[in-house]
């Protein structure tokens, strides 16, 4: 099968989770005997990012998203048509190549791309976050999960948001249009959600959407590239990810300090807008910040850790860090939000994934004595080799 994978997150000097997923999928498809091409943007030089991307097939610099800000930051609100115009630019690049492939699989942030692709093209898109109906993709504002159904409330999440009734009206128009165009795309072509939570979340906000072509397939990892796990000290806690408000690093460290217990060590791998503030408040021999690391190095640290923590306050759709920790036989601790509870089906032993109602309970759980584990030798259920046939079946529908 000839497959075109498309993502505007590639290339990049520091590849994010979505980009890593696309590359992982592409390489697995190539190893399975398929011909795979990766299409991304022209904003970054692919050759300078090749080692970070790590894709084993050819790359096409198909489109540029430069100059597509539409002065939203200056106006302080969301603008109608902007995202649909960007989707059109991506769609035109896809259609320039689509006739050469059996399937086109889009992984990106403009879900309405599909409404611009003819039915004659075997087009599939995977939805990795809440960007199917939320313009910031995360449904998170003011330090908490956003549960508003009023499109006018979305105005406060625009970059450099400013007050004003006209801005609220304009934002509401942009949000309604975005959701309508996305629903049209989903009705036209096959859509894969990386958790059933994401599928249900979209339908809650767009209840009239046609769902016949929806599929759910969790994220996957490639266990062949994982290092050999080491026993690890249960007092050694590892966080890997972006350091921002949604990821919950600061509240976790605050909650750990509030326990008054000092019998733990936390290593924080990653970067982000809250890193400096976290370091000022918590950096010590007991809590160390290591910055961004290559994926292989982060996985090596995961293999050595005693416990993995994913303190995300936002509703994680399907955390790859959780899957990596489970696959490596680590005790994984997270808030019971989003798609995370669905991942208990991949536990190596009952109770490997610890879920908590709030951050204080999570902090206390991390300090509890390690329980005995009955480890299973079966293949890891979220390995790409196990889940790939399900995706190929979706391709063939």
Residue 59 pLDDT:
98
Per-residue pLDDT, 242: 95
The mean pLDDT of 144-166, rounded to a whole number, is: 94
Q: Is the pLDDT of residue 373 over 80?
A: no
**pLDDT (average), residues 158-187:** 96
Give the whole-angstrom CA distance, residue 386 versus residue 56: 20
Instruction: Please give the radius of gyration of the chain, using alpha carbons only, rounded to the nearest integer.
Output: 21
The answer, yes or no, to whether residue 74 has pLDDT greater than 80, is: yes
Position 371 pLDDT exceeds 90? no
| C-alpha–C-alpha distance, residues 356 and 279, integer Å | 25
CA distance readout (Å), 347 to 223, 229, 327, 374: 14, 15, 8, 11
pLDDT tens digits, residue range 77-115? 999 999 999 999 999 999 999 999 999 999 999 999 999
Residue 375 has pLDDT above 70, yes or no: no
Q: What is the mean pLDDT of residues 257-277?
A: 96
Phi, psi of 318 (to 5 degrees): -165, 90
pLDDT at 60: 97
Say whether pLDDT at 33 is over 70.
yes
Average pLDDT score over residue span 267-289: 97
Tell me the pLDDT band of 370, cut-offs 50, 70 and 90.
confident
Predicted local confidence at residue 131, as pLDDT: 97
Distance CA 151, CA 329 (A): 43
Residue 394 has pLDDT above 80, yes or no: yes
Q: Which helix (H) or strand (E) holds 200?
A: helix 196-205
Q: What's residue 297's pLDDT?
A: 95
| Structure confidence at residue 376 (pLDDT) | 58
For 36, 87, 94, 185, the CA distances from 1, given in Å and listed in that order, are 8, 26, 17, 24
State percent of the chain over pLDDT 90.
93
pLDDT one-digit tens code per residue, 235-252: 999 999 999 999 999 999
Residue 3: enclosing H or E segment and its boundaries? strand 2-6
Superfamily for the 223-366 domain: Glycogen Phosphorylase B; (3.40.50.2000)
- pTM summary value: 0.95
In the CATH scheme, what is the homologous superfamily, with its name and number, of domain 2-220+386-396? Glycogen Phosphorylase B; (3.40.50.2000)
Mean pLDDT for the chain? Answer: 95
Q: Considering the chain, tell me which residue range(s) the CATH 3.40.50.2000 domain(s) occupy.
A: 2-220+386-396, 223-366
Q: What are the pLDDT digits (tens) for 314-325? A: 999 999 999 999
What phi, psi does 32 have (nearest 5°)? -85, 0
């Amino acid at each position: 099968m000839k497959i075109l994978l498309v993502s505007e997150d590639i290339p990049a000097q520091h590849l994010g989770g979505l980009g890593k997923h696309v590359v992982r999928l592409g390489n697995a498809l190539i190893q399975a005997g398929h011909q795979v091409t990766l299409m991304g943007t022209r904003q970054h030089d692919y050759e300078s990012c090749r080692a970070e991307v790590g894709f084993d097939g050819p790359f096409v610099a198909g489109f540029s998203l430069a100059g597509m800000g539409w002065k939203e930051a200056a106006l302080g609100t969301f603008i109608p048509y902007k995202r649909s115009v960007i989707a059109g630019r991506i769609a035109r690049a896809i259609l320039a190549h689509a006739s050469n492939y059996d399937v086109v699989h889009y992984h990106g942030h403009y879900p309405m791309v599909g409404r611009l692709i003819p039915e004659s093209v075997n087009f599939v898109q995977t939805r990795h976050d809440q960007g199917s109906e939320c313009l910031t993709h995360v449904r998170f504002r003011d330090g908490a999960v956003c549960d508003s159904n009023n499109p006018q409330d979305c105005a406060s999440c625009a970059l450099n948001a400013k007050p004003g009734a006209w801005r609220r009206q304009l934002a509401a128009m942009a949000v309604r249009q975005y959701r309508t165009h996305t629903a049209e795309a989903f009705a036209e072509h096959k859509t894969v959600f990386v958790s059933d939570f994401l599928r249900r979340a979209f339908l809650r906000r767009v209840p009239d959407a046609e769902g016949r072509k929806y599929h759910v397939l969790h994220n996957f990892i490639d266990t062949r590239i994982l290092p050999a796990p080491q026993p690890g000290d249960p007092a050694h806690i590892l966080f890997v990810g972006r350091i921002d408000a949604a990821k919950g690093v600061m509240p976790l460290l605050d909650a750990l300090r509030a326990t008054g217990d000092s019998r733990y060590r936390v290593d924080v791998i990653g970067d982000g807008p809250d890193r400096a503030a976290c370091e000022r408040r918590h950096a010590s021999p007991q809590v160390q910040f290591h910055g961004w690391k290559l994926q292989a190095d982060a996985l090596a640290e995961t293999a050595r850790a005693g416990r993995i923590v994913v303190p995300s306050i936002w509703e994680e759709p399907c955390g790859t860090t959780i899957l990596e920790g489970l696959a490596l036989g680590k005790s994984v601790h997270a808030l019971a939000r989003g798609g995370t509870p669905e991942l208990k089906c991949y536990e190596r032993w009952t109770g490997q994934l610890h879920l908590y109602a709030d951050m204080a309970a999570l902090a206390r759980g991390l300090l509890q004595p390690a329980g005995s584990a009955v480890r299973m030798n079966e293949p890891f259920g979220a390995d790409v080799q196990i889940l790939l046939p399900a995706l190929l079946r979706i391709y063939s529908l």
